[in-house]
Amino acid sequence: MLSEKMNEALNAQANRELYSSYLYLSMSYYFESTGMTGFASWMRVQAGEELVHTMKMLDYVANSGGRAKMMAVEAPQLSWASPMQAFQHVWNHERMVTGLIHALVRVAESESDEGTKRFLQWYLEEQVEEEESSDRVLKIVQAAGSESSALKAADKELGQRRFKFPSGFEIFPYSAIPTTIGSLKK
C-alpha cells in the first residue's frame, strides 16, 4: 500500500508526464503549421511516449493500493521562434523531468518504499534514453541552423521516427472492454 505522501507525489509526477505529452503535441501542431511535417511527426511520437509514461505511472498507483487522480494539466507553450528553439526546449524539458524523477526516488527512500523505488528505476533508465535522444536531435537541428535545405533534410530524417507501444503494455487491459465489433452489438 502506498503512503499518502508517495501516492500524492506519484500523481503529481503523472500530471507532469501528461503535461509533457501536451507540450510535445503542441510542438507537433506548431511544426505542422510551419510545414515541417517530419519535425511534427517526431514530436507526435514523443507525445505518445509521454502518454504511455503517464498511464504506466497511474496504473502503478492504482495497482499498489493508491488512488490514481486526474488533475488539471497546465497549458503548454504554443509556438517557438525557430526549430532550434523548440528542440532546445525539448532538451531542457527532458533534463527537468530527470530531476523530477530523482526527486520521486528520494520520496520513495524517505517513505521506505522499496517497491516504488524499484518501479522508478524504469523511469530513470528511460530518462537517460530521453536525454540522449533529445541531445541527438538538438545537435541535428543546430547543425542545420537556419539554412533551408539543411532544415528540410533534418525534417525528413526526424520524420522517419515511428511510435511503438512497449511490449506488454495495453491501453485497455480490462476484460470488460469489448474487443470485437460483434461484442459491441450485444
Helix %, strand %, coil % of the chain (to 5): 70, 0, 30
Q: 93-114: per-residue pLDDT in tens?
A: 999 999 999 999 999 999 999 9
- Please state the φ and ψ torsions of residue 164, each to the nearest 5 degrees: -135, 130
Q: What are the structural domains of the chain?
A: 4-162 (1.20.1260.10)
3-23 as b/e: b if 16+ CB within 10 A: beebbbbbbbbbbbbbbbbbb
pLDDT score recorded for residue 162: 73
Which of 125-128's residues contact partners 24+ apart within 8 Å by CB, and which partners? 126/53, 127/94, 127/97, 127/98, 127/101
**What does pTM read for this prediction?**
0.86
Greatest C-alpha distance within the chain: 59
DSSP of 6-59: HHHHHHHHHHHHHHHHHHHHHHHHHHHHTT-HHHHHHHHHHHHHHHHHHHHHHH
Asked if residue 182 has pLDDT above 50, the reply is no
pLDDT tens digits for 13-47? 999 999 999 999 999 999 999 999 999 999 999 99
Q: What is the pLDDT of residues 134-154, one digit of tens each?
A: 999 999 999 999 999 999 999
CA 72 to chain centre: 17
Q: 166 or 32: which carries more pLDDT confidence?
A: 32
